[in-house]
Amino acid sequence: MAKTVDPQLISGLREESERTKDDPYPAGTEGKRPNRSQVYSVRLSADEQARVQSVAEAKHLPASTLVRSWILERLDQESA
């Protein structure tokens, strides 16, 4: 599922990034990642990984989003 990005958009974003890279952050801005603070690494066999990827593609989701949703659903079940 390849997507094409407008070359003019890319060029404009690159130019803006270069022009503003040394600008200070706005007052009151904090530099932290929203929502996620811990990364878990999970080992899967090639077959298991392929199965996850297949389900993710069928749902038009990144595999990591699918796996995260499964974990969160299970945590909800466990706390019920």
Q: What is the pLDDT of residues 41-56, one digit of tens each?
A: 999 999 999 999 999 9
User: Is 13 part of a structural domain of the chain?
Assistant: no
- pLDDT(1) > 60: no
> What are the phi and psi torsion angles at 50 (to 5°)?
-65, -40
pLDDT score at 44 = 96
Q: Are 63 and 52 in contact (CB under 8 A)?
A: yes
- Residue 50 covered by a domain: yes
Give me the domain span that covers residue 75. Answer: 43-80
Predicted TM-score (pTM) of the model is 0.54
Q: Is residue 18, in this structure, part of any structural domain at all?
A: no
Euclidean distance between CA atoms 64 and 41, whole angstroms: 11
14 lies in some domain: no
Q: Which residue has the tokens 């974990």?
A: 71
Residue 75 to residues 28, 45, 65, Cα–Cα distance (Å)? 34, 24, 15
Q: For the chain, what is the domain count?
A: 1
In a domain, 23, yes or no: no
Is residue 34 predicted with pLDDT exceeding 90? no
